[in-house]
Amino acid sequence: MDSFEYVSAPHRVVFGRGTLQELPSMLEKIKVKAVLILCTPQQVSTAEEVKAIIGDTGIAIFSEATMHTPTHITDKAVLVAQEKGVDGIVSVGGGSTVGLGKALSIRTGLPHLCIPTTYAGSEMTPILGETENGRKVTRRDPRILPTAVLYDVELFKTLPVTMTVYSGINAIAHAVEALYATNRNPIIDLLAYEGIRTLCIALPLLQADGNDPAARQQALYGAWLCGMCLGAVDMALHHKLCHTLGGMFNLPHAETHVVLLPHALAYNATAPAAAGAMVKLAAALPEAEGDPVRGINALYQRLGIDLSLKGLGMSEGGVDEACDVAIANPYKNPRVLEREGIRELIRRAWAGEAAKAKL
């Protein structure tokens, strides 16, 4: 890395166990006195827990957060925020709820405090993807970055082990792509390495014992670092493929990331522009023995991951369709997008084969 630019975003992060109790003082620090609490229909009880902690500051709960941030839901939330006269937003949940918080905050200018409950990392990014009439539009704007983030390890107790593993790999994938991002920098390299290394230790422990408190704390710490990577640098082939396929075939977010990661990594593994990244990645992945593809395959085997695009509901005909779209939209990637290789990447992911370097 001969030259680089490093921009750091100003926002407050509180991390720990039982930190939810610090929410009133955090809201005070960001000068918020009347909040709308956001959640999904599945996490109303968590939102109620939040409301109980902040007492009169919690004005109402809006529980319609939905995957891919549909604008008609955001419009509804804006109306509720206006009707209730709130001066701040608290989102408690995964990327879907954080997305709604961002969409509401950018429209209203209200400060937004996030309480993440998955490892997706959206809380650390100035990125918002919204869906209107089935079309997803993503934008980046510093004002989208949440005002403050409160990580409470205790809130991850309810995350099922399978979701823990998939969401954790989702986080790892962001750090993998950060290592070879064209706009990477030495700080992000450090965060990416440490995020991957930490999650690779924590996830197998959590899979063996979903109640292991130390592993849960370690996983969340790793996910925070990976989230910072996602927010700071450009993603490449893996991320774009996930969003292309997810949008085209309505595939689940975290699972799609999991299926595609080893294959996207295999595609880029031999690219000269990614050589330094692959050395760091191999060092972060246990059992890699110098080969990151071997390392990621070993991690998947250890975690018992057995997913395929076919299993997620994509038809075989989708392989060519997805390939056409994937190569039609050029984006930064350490290796040029070649039709034959990309098609084979998608085919292997569709069939659920193990990743192989030759692509």
- From CA 79, how far away is CA 75, in angstroms rounded? 6
What's the closest the beta carbon of residue 95 comes to ligand NAD, in angstroms? Answer: 2
Please give the Cα distance from 258 to 163 (Å, whole number): 11
184 versus 348: smaller Cβ distance to ligand NAD = 184
Would you say 254 or 282 has its CB closer to ligand NAD? Answer: 254
Least distance to ligand NAD, CB of residue 106, Å: 12
Q: Least distance in Å: CB of 8 to ligand NAD?
A: 17
| CB closer to ligand NAD out of 257 and 263 | 257
Closest chain position to ligand NAD (CB): 95
Residue 226 beta carbon to ligand NAD: minimum distance, rounded to whole angstroms: 10
Q: How far is the CB of 1 from ligand NAD (least distance, A)?
A: 24
Phi-psi category of residue 48: left, alpha or beta, with phi > 0 → left and psi -120 to 50 → alpha: alpha
- 220 alpha carbon, distance to own chain's centre: 12
Beta bridge partners of 131: 70, 136
CB of residue 282 to ligand NAD, shortest distance in Å: 25
Closer residue to ligand NAD in complex, CB, 166/180: 166
Which tokens sit at 161? 């082990």
Residue 229 or 269 having the CB closest to ligand NAD: 229
Return the closest-CA partner of residue 188 out of 240, 226, 150: 226
Give the Cα separation of 27 and 48 in Å (integer): 17
53, 78, 50, 52: which is closest to 64 by C-alpha? 78
Token pair in block for residue 37: 């609490």
Question: Least Å distance between CB 350 and ligand NAD?
Answer: 21
The two tokens of residue 342 are 């990309």
Residues that bind ligand NAD (CB under 6 A): 40, 42-43, 67-68, 93-97, 99, 117-118, 120-122, 125, 127-129, 155-156, 158-159, 167, 230, 253-254
**Pick 226 or 326: Cβ nearer ligand NAD:** 226
Distances (CA, A) of 35 to 59, 80, 112, 117, 184: 6, 11, 9, 19, 37
Q: Is the dihedral of CA 207, 211, 217, 223 positive or negative?
A: positive
CA–CA gap between residue 146 and residue 12 (Å, rounded): 9
Nearer Cβ to ligand NAD (105/297): 105
